[in-house]
A and B are shown apart, each in its own frame.
Chain A
Amino acid sequence: MSDRNPPAVTARPAYWTVSRKLAAIVVCCVGLGLSGMIAGQTYWESQDLYAHALRSYSNLTKLLASQVSAGVRWQRPEVIERNYAGLRNDPEAGLSSLMAFDAEGGVLNAYQSEAAEGVDLRQAHDAATGVMGRDVVFSQRTADHFVLVVPVEVDAPESLGGRRIRVGALAVAWSLAELKQHIWDGLLRQLGLGGAALILIIVVCIDFLKRVFSHPLEALTTATERLAYGDTSAEVPGTQRRDELGGLARAVEVFKRNVRIIEKLTADQQEHAARLSQALEKEREYNALQSEFVAMASHEFRTPLAIIDGTAQRIERRMHQMSPEDLHERVQKIRNAVQRMLALIESTLSASRLDAGKIELEIGACDLSEVVADVCKRQQELSPLHKIVLRQAELPKEIAADAKKLEQVFTNLLSNAVKYAPESPRIDVRVASEAGQAVVSVCDRGLGIPEDELPRLFERYFRARTSTGIAGTGIGLNLVKRFVELHGGTIEVESAEGAGSTFTVRLPIALPCETSAVESAGRRGLGLQADPAPDGGVAKIAQEA
């Protein structure tokens, strides 16, 4: 999981998980069902008993009716005894006692047992005397009995007038304890049958709920959580389902795809931002270098101006006391300073022309050896404290190149060698021909360049750390490299801090007759090769100042 998106909400796994809740619901439903069953069973049992009681009563009334029509004196105790014993002994009715009342409400039978205690005799009287309707049944509950009081009517025979007569009432009592036992037995019987089935139902239900809802929900939750914490490799289960869980899974799948898109966008954006900040950093660096260049360029222009102005002021003051030699020397100083300024102007303008793409080589017949020798000679005059040693192998007398640009190249390299080796006077310049290329190297034993800065050395405005305190604009080497490349050549530098630097320029040797070809090649930055003319292999030392 990635810590990129910390969870907004952290919760411990709840005890009441969805599956547990579902299981609880199942158990509650089954419990309710069970309670309902118990209540139903109780109700049906009591209805059953009631029905039995009524049947017994109906049988009794029929018996009474027949006895009445046969002239039997039903009120006689032995008749009542016999009649009620039959009723009482009906095992299905479960009656515990009976009381009979005559039409006046008087108690007839001797079965007054404990059940009779507490029976509301007023109701019995009402039932027996016909105050109440024939269908009214009183139900009573005494301390330990359930009692029904019912009126007893018979259809009198035609001989007696043929109408229904109320002959009395009956109080039918059930022992509550027996009743409960009876119902409880029924329940246990039911439960014994249904209990196993119920447990089975619960197990099956819970298993079903688990398989159908719980497990898929858990898997989906896990996948969603992984996704929320940035793990897009999580497989979203259940996308094939057709129910709500399937809908949810499909939504999560879409969410996953979106997260992937967002991740990719974010990565792209970060990369873009990194690139941008890199570019910005580079730009800032370049701007800093550029403003450093402006300051240094101003310094570099002012220095020869200061020489010219200072010398001129001195001449003005001492004009009349100066010897011609002294005057000549001072004028020469002025002219050197002017040259210095011109070179500076030239390189600054070249740089800006290069930037504008307006520089083209003026290829002509160029004697490279002579160009290098001239540059060395001039530099030697400017830097009498240094010793420029030139070694030249033979090169073709003339090659196709832009002599002025190459002069600028070598002047730059040589003046750098002098400038950055103030304490080490010896500077070696070597001209050679290697593999069809003219090779010119300038080697000093001066300050050198820190190794880590070598790759940036030819960048515009870049100046190495070791140049601190030494005037310079940072455009020279850049210009050198670009001029050399315009000729289809290369430049390399080898350097060690404190040990000096060697710059090696390689130029393709092309004969002047191939000028047009070289010119176009030069513009493209490609080199052409030609065999050097063999005019002697003498190495000469041009300068030993």
Chain B
Amino acid sequence: MAKILCVEDEEEIRDDIVEELMDAGHEVLAASNGLEGLQAVTDFRPDLIISDCLMPKMTGPEFFQALRRDYPDLAEVPFVFLSAHADKSHVEEGMALGANVYLTKPVDYDKLLMVVNSLLDHGTRAASEG
């Protein structure tokens, strides 16, 4: 079981993802934009973050940059972009920022879970090895 922060402005999508992750046994905190996500990380200390890109107030990339800048202790926390921007340029942009994975909507939940578990496993292994 891991702590996952899910940042998504579309309520209908957010609810499903949260449900899906909780069904997989994770503890999930939902935020509806980057700013809320940034406020959440202080107390929640997630093991993994899933974030949309296009959101009001603070976009996903802005959230990612603020997170990496202001929370050095969360530097190793895997970060997944999940966005309806599916252009190659958007994917490259997201990856260039330093995200671990860029998934496009609509997403297959099996794939999402696989990515999440893989990233969490890797993190755990890295932690135990370290």
Does the CB pair B23–A307 fall under 8 Å? no
Q: Is A337 an interface residue (CB 8 A)?
A: yes
Closest-by-CB residue of B relative to A330 is: B16
Contacts of A318 in B (CB 8 A): 23
Contacts of A422 in B (CB 8 A): 56
Contacts of A470 in B (CB 8 A): 54, 56
Contacts of B90 in A (CB 8 A): 295
Contact among B17, B57, B85, B87 for A469, CB-based, below 8 A: B57
Q: Is B59 an interface residue (CB 8 A)?
A: yes
Among B10, B23, B54, B108, find the residue whose CB has the most chain A CB atoms closer than 10 A: B54
Q: Is A278 an interface residue (CB 8 A)?
A: no
The interface stretch among B37-45, B99-107, B117-125 is: B99-107
Q: What string of 1s and 0s marks CB contacts (under 8 Å) between A445-487 and chain B?
A: 0000000000000000000000011110000000000000000
Among B33, B56, B86, find the residue whose CB has the most chain A CB atoms closer than 10 A: B56
Q: Is B84 an interface residue (CB 8 A)?
A: yes
Does the CB pair B17–A310 fall under 8 Å? yes
Contact among A306, A337, A468, A469 for B84, CB-based, below 8 A: A306
Q: In chain B, residues 30-71, which have Cβ atoms closer than 8 Å to a Cβ of chain A? A: 33, 54-59
Does the CB pair A310–B12 fall under 8 Å? yes
Taken together as a complex, chains A and B put the C-alpha atoms of A318 and B13 apart, in Å, by 16
Closest-by-CB residue of A relative to B59 is: A469
| Chain B residues touching A, majority SS | loop
Number of interface residues of A (CB under 8 A): 25
Contact among B17, B56, B106, B108 for A302, CB-based, below 8 A: B106
CB distance from A316 to the nearest CB of B (A): 9
Does the CB pair A295–B16 fall under 8 Å? no
Does the CB pair A305–B106 fall under 8 Å? yes
Does the CB pair A310–B106 fall under 8 Å? yes
Taken together as a complex, chains A and B put the C-alpha atoms of A300 and B55 apart, in Å, by 13
Contacts of A299 in B (CB 8 A): 54, 83-86
CB distance from A469 to the nearest CB of B (A): 4
Does the CB pair B105–A306 fall under 8 Å? yes
Contacts of A302 in B (CB 8 A): 84, 86, 104-106
Task: Give the interface of B toward A (CB within 8 A).
Answer: 10, 12-13, 16-17, 19-20, 23, 33, 54-59, 83-87, 90, 104-109
